[in-house]
Structure 1
Amino acid sequence: MLLTIDVGNTNITLGVFDNDKLTGTFRMTTKQPRTSDEYGFSICDILQHRDIHVRDVDAVIVASVVPDIMHSLINGIIKYLSVSPLVVSSGTKTGIRIVTENPKEIGPDRIVDAVAGYELYGGPVLVVDFGTATTYDLIGPGGTFEAGITAPGIETAARSLWGGAAMLPAIEIKKPKSILAKETISSMQAGLVYGAIGQTEYIVNKIKEESGYENLTVVATGGLGKIIARETESIDIYKSDLTLNGLRLIYNKNKKR
């Protein structure tokens, strides 16, 4: 079995693949400091709780945007799973050619999403990831990473809102019954959700206009992406496990190495 690990700024998402089938997904918080033993034990405990035998995991791939935790995480994997993980980096074979001005600035998470978007849906494709940041990554017909747009994530914007305004409460992020809000909570929900919908539609349309890719397939992922995807025709497909599948695809391209 293959264990895929996506280390984001907020959460660590893990997925276990039996060949091409995703058999389980799990989450851990990223910001809690952990030793290598704590990482190893936590991963083993999660797997065993889902009836996945640790000894059945014979390969691990990791993509991370949080360098500070990588030493402990990798050592924990090696000590407890007896596997040396493949870490996605600039030297990893992906099948995607980056043609931006500084290819090394493109984060591993975005490359993984680009691989999944292109391999699963062809090109041109636009991958929109609603995470800590909302990212829009354009992959051309030949598998070229052509452009990337970065905006504040919905939850990031929400935390800034209630963290910076003393009288605004922390709220659940969901679409309110009407944009015509009549009290504080629904007014915040309306601003966050409808604001994200409007941003998505404008950016997607602008990308189509400037790239000339009118037949662009737009694929969304990320936890809050489901809320936005069902409210706009600008998004063609929502796939919650896009990043994990991208890791699987990259591992398959590199396993002979």
Structure 2
Amino acid sequence: MLLAIDVGNTNTVFGLHDGDDWIHSWRSATDSTKTADDHASWLWRLADMHGVDLAHTKGCVISTVVPQAQFNFRNLARRYLNVEPMFIGDPDLKTGVALRVRHPEQVGADRIASALGAHVKYPGALIVIDSGTATTLDVVGADGGFEGGIISPGIYLSMRALHEAAAQLPRIAIQKPAQVIGKDTVSAMQSGVFLGYIELIDGLVRRVKAEYGAPMTVVATGGVASLFEGASETIDHYDQDVLIRGLLEVWKRNR
């Protein structure tokens, strides 16, 4: 059994793979101050609730964009799973993803894993859109190489900034508005944020395709990607398993 961990800026996802399928996944708020003992007590309780014995875990692969959390997750794997974890970005780890950018060391582990996870499922050149704390659009070549991308603030981050910077604007839920022209403050904010992000995504996808000059498949993933389903004109597939599929593939290539 494999434990795959994706440590994002906002949330951390734990996924269990039994060799054939993903059998469970759990999500917690990312907190770099949590110790290995904190993670273990939370994780073991959830596993017990689902009748899973984590003692059968034979591997652990981790993607993290929070460097401060790496020490505690390494200890979690060593102390409680008795395995040496693989970290995306370690120089001796084979991913098969060529980083064709000026500063390869600056490419986040999550973007590498997502590029690989999308490439092994979808043929040809890709645009991988990951909607989380940041919204990223990454270009993946037909051979799986990472060609570069775009980073913009995530939809929740923008909404929070709007609320905190403007005293009279409330904190609201993000949802598709009934019409473009808002008739009150809340509907006006929902229209601006939701439809604004749809236009941001669709506009950037069109510009990337025009610049790339070849057919591309667009895959959306991440915590809020499902919000855009049915609204975007450019997204071909919605796939929440892109990143953990990439982690599984890394483990297969290096075990």
- Tell me the TM-score normalized by structure 1: 0.95
Q: Which residue of 1 is the match for residue 168 of structure 2? A: 167
State the 1:112 CA deviation. Answer: 0.3
Unpaired runs of at least 5, structure 1:
none
Moved more, 31-40 or 201-210: 31-40
Contact 2:130 2:225 in 1 (8 A): yes
Which secondary structure does the structure 2 equivalent of 1:194 belong to?
helix
- The offset of 1:190, in angstroms, is 1.1
Instruction: Measure the CA separation in 2 of the matches of 1:114 and 1:223.
Output: 17
Structure-1 separation of matches of 2:25 and 2:178:
31
Distance, in Å, in 1 between the alignment partners of 2:202 and 2:90 is 32
Query: Which stretch of the first structure deviates more once superposed, 229-238 or 28-37?
Result: 28-37
CA distance in structure 2 between the partners assigned to 1:32 and 1:75 by the alignment: 13
CA distances 1:152-180 after superposition (whole Å, capped 9, x unpaired): 00111111111111111111111122222
- Letter of the aligned partner of 2:18 in structure 1? D
Q: Tell me what 2:137 maps to.
A: 136
Q: Is the 8 A contact 1:90 1:104 kept in 2?
A: no
- The equivalences for 1:185-200 within 5 A come to 185-200=186-201
Residue 19 of structure 1 corresponds to which residue in structure 2? 19
1:177 aligns with 2:145: no
Q: Is the 8 A contact 2:4 2:15 kept in 1?
A: yes
Per-residue deviation, 1:32: 6.2
User: Does the CA contact (< 8 Å) of 1:218 and 1:234 recur in 2?
Assistant: yes
Aligned equivalent of 2:127: 126
**Hey, what does 1:76 align to over in structure 2?**
76
Counterparts of 2:58 and 2:44, CA distance in 1: 13
* Gap runs ≥5 in structure 2: none
Letter in 1 for 2:38: E
Note the C-alpha offset of 1:53.
1.1
TM-score in terms of structure 2 length: 0.96
Instruction: Return the alpha-carbon distance in structure 2 between the equivalents of residues 216 and 197 of structure 1.
Output: 19
- Residues 32 and 69 in structure 2, CA contact (< 8 A), matched pair in contact too: no
Distance 2:50 2:180 in 1: 41
- Shift in Å at residue 89 of structure 1? 1.1
2:236 is matched with 236
Report sequence identity in percent. 35
Q: Does 2:58 align with 1:58? A: yes
Alignment of structure 1 residues 26-65 onto 2, 5 Å: 26-31=26-31, 33-65=33-65
> 2:152 matched to which residue of 1?
151
Where 2:83 maps in the other structure, the secondary structure is coil
Q: Is the 8 A contact 1:229 1:237 kept in 2?
A: no
Runs of 4+ in 1 over 6 A off after TM superposition: none
Aligned residues: 254
Contact 1:40 1:81 in 2 (8 A): no
**Cα offset for 1:211?**
0.6
TM-aligned CA deviation for residue 73 of structure 1: 2.0
Q: Distance in 1 between matches of 2:250 and 2:20?
A: 12
Counting only pairs closer than 5 Å after superposition, residues 215-254 of structure 1 correspond to structure 2 as 215-254=215-254
